[in-house]
């Protein structure tokens, strides 16, 4: 027979595997879970409220008495008459422990109960009315604050990362706090040469050498590597010392949390600070990672922290997840300047329970964040992302062939990346390597910077590289990619394609090398113990690939401009935009890695700002998704969820097997019978023994052991609290006291005072019959957010199915070893 949920002993394994040398349950995690501590103090304060909340769990019976007459009169639906009877319930009932699954149904019900309270009290006076208004506002207020905070933080991180990145190459002598661009602005140079300005000194110049030449190159190379390693080391130390949860992208964990799991401290203030600083450092180090994914984590931390300002959200895990959904939309919104894409990302990729009200609030939150970030204007170009572009060039039907090819290649790359990355992460976990996370970061940083510097495309900021790749060549562009054989005096010639010059050929080789390098190093980078996102590296790989194919296509068409195949593309001049291919490639690779669909297309649409490219983007994304899915169903986030053994019940994958509830439920055929509590025959001592000897998180209550007719369900936590409270506060309760869960207690009892616990009994547990197909059961778990369901046949209790049983069953059916995978 199984325990009903994650018991502490198993929960250890669920901690993020930050090295193996720390005891995962050590207090160092807890003491730093900033918002967590705050939460619990908050909880003490609002314990009154919680007493009322628990009515849902236990107050049903009282309500039903004589209720049938009231039902037609909504004015009587307040439940004031019941409130006073519940004062004897101990505080803390209805909360969750760390690494436990939440019960959505119950939490949502608790919130409605609280809401009714507020509405009822509203008539009691002006102050209460204001409180009611505050309660009604608080949802919008909360997401507004979250949006503003996420936008502001993103601005700070953008500016900080850009400054630190430039520090690798040089410094602004008179104002060291400026990055290269700002430095050159402030210097007011008249020269248009972007590469140098009077105020900006490379490190070679700072140590007194000339700005060019072999010696200078070596000094700059040396400083590039030194700074890179230093930044990476600092980031890794930060994560190590202050908040181990700040590593990685955070999206797999946020998906798990939003699906109804508790990981205390994961969204706390220490994590937020560490992640923010660590992101700047690790991006500046030049590692092959991005800050776009971690923005989601940062925004969710803001969401969690601000939710404690509003008890409605802070003290209700289900409601808090609404704020977190909105926050993750804000995270993507600031990452790509795409509020609609952010909302769809939240809907499609991260969120689990997403009612329409949340959709609207998420949109508001995402918009507020984008608005604040635009006001900060970190890139000085009025756009929220470095690689925002506005195209006008048309595309032709023939081009769909290379677009779909790019999509397929993107899907191929994505699944290859996922497989290799997961293999490497598994190796890291199981080998000695996992014990030296900081050395690993240092080594990868050294290799990355060593190999990056010689190639201009890898040396520059990855966002900047993507910007160059997706841009079209205008008259003002002087980089290699735009070195075509053009008539430079005629600005019109930039509107059409022409033969490539020497610069383009050089760029092609550099891009091929960059593609190989980025493709390989990212596998080793993602999963290290520094904050690291995957969006930008994936897009970079895709953009390089796309640009290369685009240039190839361009030259092909020009060479065959009179062929009937390309005739319509070359009326007077051929018009092919390799930048568009890069854009499509970025979408394809990102789609292959993350398996996003609608949200990806919408994000790219918001980036390009034109409806006309939506068809190429969509087709490439579809091709990428199909090819990727054919090679392996899981996206990178799902793969990491599986790797880390989080209890995540995927709501996208369909359950297609024909098993029934009887196959899954515990106890199994030859197991000992289910641990049950009878409603009016067990003594306090017997129940205490049961609690001691088992680790189940809850017990069904039945009429009698023989009949097994189900009465209700009581959770371990509530039972423990209620018993401890009764032992302390209720007179006459001793070990021999009979515990009554039934409604009527025989008045002629002899012996010690009975203990009445019907109030903590859930009289409405969700039940199914043993013949229920598992597909229905899985649907119920997903849609209703259950923790467990009881299995009956002809009214008799047969067994229980917990979320864990369902997860284990799904993994079993996938022919994998459940124990090694789910909880290692």
- Chain-centroid distance, C-alpha 140: 22
Question: Coil, strand or helix: which one is 337?
Answer: coil
- Containing 800, the helix (H) or strand (E) segment is strand 796-802
- To a second copy, the closest distance from the beta carbon of 794 in angstroms equals 5
Helices (H), 243-355: 251-258, 269-284, 292-307, 311-314, 317-336, 339-345
Which one, of 678, 687, 686, 684, lies nearest residue 707 by Cα?
Answer: 678
- To a second copy, the closest distance from the beta carbon of 709 in angstroms equals 4
- Chain-centroid distance, C-alpha 331: 10
Q: Residue 96 or residue 363: which is nearer to a second copy going by CB?
A: 363
Cα–Cα distance, 303 to 366 (Å, whole number): 12
Q: Residue 333 or residue 415: which is nearer to a second copy going by CB?
A: 333
Q: Residue 342 or residue 578: which is nearer to a second copy going by CB?
A: 342
Structure tokens at 34: 């900033």
- To a second copy, the closest distance from the beta carbon of 353 in angstroms equals 10
Q: Residue 1 or residue 662: which is nearer to a second copy going by CB?
A: 662
Cα–Cα distance, 60 to 78 (Å, whole number): 14
Q: Residue 129 or residue 436: which is nearer to a second copy going by CB?
A: 129
Cα–Cα distance, 235 to 244 (Å, whole number): 11
Q: How many CA atoms lie within 13 A of 44 on its CB side?
A: 5
- To a second copy, the closest distance from the beta carbon of 105 in angstroms equals 6
- To a second copy, the closest distance from the beta carbon of 702 in angstroms equals 9
Peptide bond into 667 cis (omega under 30): yes
Task: Supply φ then ψ for residue 268, to 5 degrees.
Answer: -85, 180
Distances (CA, A) of 433 to 20, 427, 438: 10, 8, 10
Q: Residue 328 or residue 452: which is nearer to a second copy going by CB?
A: 328
Q: Residue 209 or residue 614: which is nearer to a second copy going by CB?
A: 614
- To a second copy, the closest distance from the beta carbon of 602 in angstroms equals 6
Q: Residue 335 or residue 601: which is nearer to a second copy going by CB?
A: 601
- To a second copy, the closest distance from the beta carbon of 808 in angstroms equals 11
Cα–Cα distance, 780 to 787 (Å, whole number): 10
Cα–Cα distance, 163 to 280 (Å, whole number): 9
- To a second copy, the closest distance from the beta carbon of 526 in angstroms equals 25
- To a second copy, the closest distance from the beta carbon of 754 in angstroms equals 20
In the block, residue with structure tokens 């903590």: 760
Structure tokens at 757: 């616990």
Question: Coil, strand or helix: which one is 528?
Answer: coil
Dihedral angle sign, alpha carbons of residues 530, 536, 538, 541: negative
Structure tokens at 750: 């002899």
- To a second copy, the closest distance from the beta carbon of 809 in angstroms equals 8
Q: Residue 116 or residue 122: which is nearer to a second copy going by CB?
A: 116
Distances (CA, A) of 809 to 100, 210, 654, 805: 19, 68, 14, 6
Rg from Cα positions in the chain: 30
Identify the burial level of 410 via C-beta atoms within 10 angstroms of its C-beta, where 0-12 means exposed, 13-18 middle and 19 or more buried. buried
Q: Residue 694 or residue 767: which is nearer to a second copy going by CB?
A: 767
- To a second copy, the closest distance from the beta carbon of 56 in angstroms equals 7
- To a second copy, the closest distance from the beta carbon of 24 in angstroms equals 30
Contacts of 160 (CB under 8 A, 6+ apart): 280
Helices (H), 676-745: 684-693, 716-729
Q: Residue 7 or residue 715: which is nearer to a second copy going by CB?
A: 715
**Residue 33 region by backbone torsions, left for phi larger than 0, else alpha for psi between -120 and 50, else beta:** beta
Identify the burial level of 16 via C-beta atoms within 10 angstroms of its C-beta, where 0-12 means exposed, 13-18 middle and 19 or more buried. buried
Q: Residue 24 or residue 773: which is nearer to a second copy going by CB?
A: 773
Q: Residue 30 or residue 771: which is nearer to a second copy going by CB?
A: 771
- To a second copy, the closest distance from the beta carbon of 216 in angstroms equals 43
Q: Residue 452 or residue 772: which is nearer to a second copy going by CB?
A: 772
- To a second copy, the closest distance from the beta carbon of 219 in angstroms equals 44
């Amino acid at each position: 027979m199984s325990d009903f949920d994650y018991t502490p002993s198993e929960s250890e394994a669920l901690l993020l595997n930050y090295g193996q040398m720390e005891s995962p349950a050590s207090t160092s995690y807890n003491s730093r879970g900033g918002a967590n501590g705050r939460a619990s103090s908050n909880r003490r304060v609002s314990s009154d409220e919680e007493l009322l909340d628990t009515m849902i769990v236990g107050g049903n019976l009282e309500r039903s008495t004589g209720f049938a007459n009231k039902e037609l009169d909504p004015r009587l639906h307040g439940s004031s008459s019941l409130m006073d009877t519940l004062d004897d319930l101990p505080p803390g009932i209805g909360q969750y422990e760390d690494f436990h699954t939440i019960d959505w149904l119950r939490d949502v019900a608790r919130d409605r109960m609280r809401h009714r309270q507020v509405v009822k009290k509203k008539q009691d006076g002006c102050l209460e009315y204001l409180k009611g208004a505050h309660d009604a506002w608080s949802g919008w207020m909360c997401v507004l604050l979250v949006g503003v905070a996420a936008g502001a933080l993103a601005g700070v991180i953008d500016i900080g990362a850009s400054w630190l990145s430039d520090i690798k190459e040089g410094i602004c002598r008179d104002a060291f706090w400026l990055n290269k661009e700002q430095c050159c602005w402030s210097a007011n140079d008249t020269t248009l040469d972007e590469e140098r300005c009077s105020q900006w000194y490379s490190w070679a110049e700072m140590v007194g050498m000339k700005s060019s030449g072999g010696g200078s190159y070596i000094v700059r190379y040396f400083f590039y590597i030194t700074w890179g390693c230093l930044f990476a080391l600092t980031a890794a130390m930060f994560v190590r010392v202050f908040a181990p949860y700040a590593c990685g992208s955070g999206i797999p964990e946020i998906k798990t949390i939003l699906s109804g799991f508790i990981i205390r401290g994961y969204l706390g203030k220490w994590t937020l600070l560490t992640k923010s600083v660590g992101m700047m450092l690790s991006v500046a180090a030049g590692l092959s990672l991005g800050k776009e994914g971690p923005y989601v984590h940062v925004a969710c931390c803001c969401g969690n922290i601000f939710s404690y300002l509003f008890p409605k959200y802070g003290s209700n895990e289900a409601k808090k997840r609404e704020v977190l959904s909105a926050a993750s939309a804000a995270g993507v919104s600031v990452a790509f300047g795409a509020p609609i894409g952010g909302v769809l990302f939240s809907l499609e990729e991260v969120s689990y329970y997403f009612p329409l009200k949340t959709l609207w609030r998420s949109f508001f939150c995402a918009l507020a964040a984008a608005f604040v970030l635009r006001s900060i204007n970190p890139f000085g170009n009025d756009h929220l992302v470095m690689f925002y572009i506005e195209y006008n060039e048309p595309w032709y039907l023939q081009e769909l062939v290379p677009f779909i090819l790019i999509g397929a290649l993107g899907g191929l790359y994505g699944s290859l990346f996922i497989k290799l990355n997961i293999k490497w992460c598994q190796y890291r976990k199981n080998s000695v390597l996992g014990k030296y996370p900081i050395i690993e970061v240092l080594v990868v940083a050294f290799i990355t910077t060593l190999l990056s510097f010689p190639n201009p495309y890898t040396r520059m900021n990855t966002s900047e590289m993507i910007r160059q790749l997706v841009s079209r060549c205008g008259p003002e562009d002087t980089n290699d990619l735009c070195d075509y054989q053009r008539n430079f005096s005629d600005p019109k010639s930039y509107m059409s394609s022409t033969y490539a010059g020497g610069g383009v050929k050089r760029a092609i080789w550099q891009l091929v090398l960059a593609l190989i390098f980025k493709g390989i190093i990212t596998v080793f980078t993602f999963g290290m113990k520094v904050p690291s996102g995957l969006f930008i590296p994936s897009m970079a790989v895709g953009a390089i690939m796309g640009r290369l194919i685009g240039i190839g296509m361009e030259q092909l068409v020009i060479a065959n401009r009179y062929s009937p195949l390309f005739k319509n593309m070359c009326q007077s001049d051929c018009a092919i935009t390799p930048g568009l291919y890069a854009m499509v490639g970025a979408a394809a690779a990102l789609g292959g890695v993350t398996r996003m669909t609608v949200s990806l297309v919408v994000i790219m649409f918001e980036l390009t700002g034109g409806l006309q490219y939506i068809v190429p983007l969509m087709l490439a994304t579809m091709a990428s998704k199909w090819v990727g899915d054919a090679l392996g169903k899981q996206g990178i986030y799902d793969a990491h969820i599986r790797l880390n053994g989080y209890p995540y019940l995927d709501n996208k994958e369909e359950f297609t097997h024909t098993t029934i509830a009887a196959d899954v439920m515990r106890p199994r055929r030859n197991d000992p019978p289910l641990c049950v509590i009878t409603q009016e025959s067990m003594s306090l001592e017997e129940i205490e023994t049961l609690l001691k000897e088992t680790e189940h998180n809850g017990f069904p209550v039945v009429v009698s052991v023989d009949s097994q007719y189900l009465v209700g369900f009581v959770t371990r936590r509530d039972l423990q609290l209620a018993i401890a409270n009764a032992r302390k506060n209720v007179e006459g309760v001793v070990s021999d006291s009979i515990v009554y869960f039934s409604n009527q207690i025989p008045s002629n009892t002899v012996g010690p005072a009975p203990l009445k616990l019907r109030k903590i009994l859930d009289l409405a547990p969700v039940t199914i019959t043993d013949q229920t197909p598992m597909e229905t059961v899985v649907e119920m778990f997903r849609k209703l957010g259950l923790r467990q369901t009881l299995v009956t046949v002809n009214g008799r209790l047969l067994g229980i199915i917990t979320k864990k049983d369902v997860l284990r069953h799904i993994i079993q059916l996938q022919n994998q070893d459940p124990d090694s995978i789910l909880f290692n």
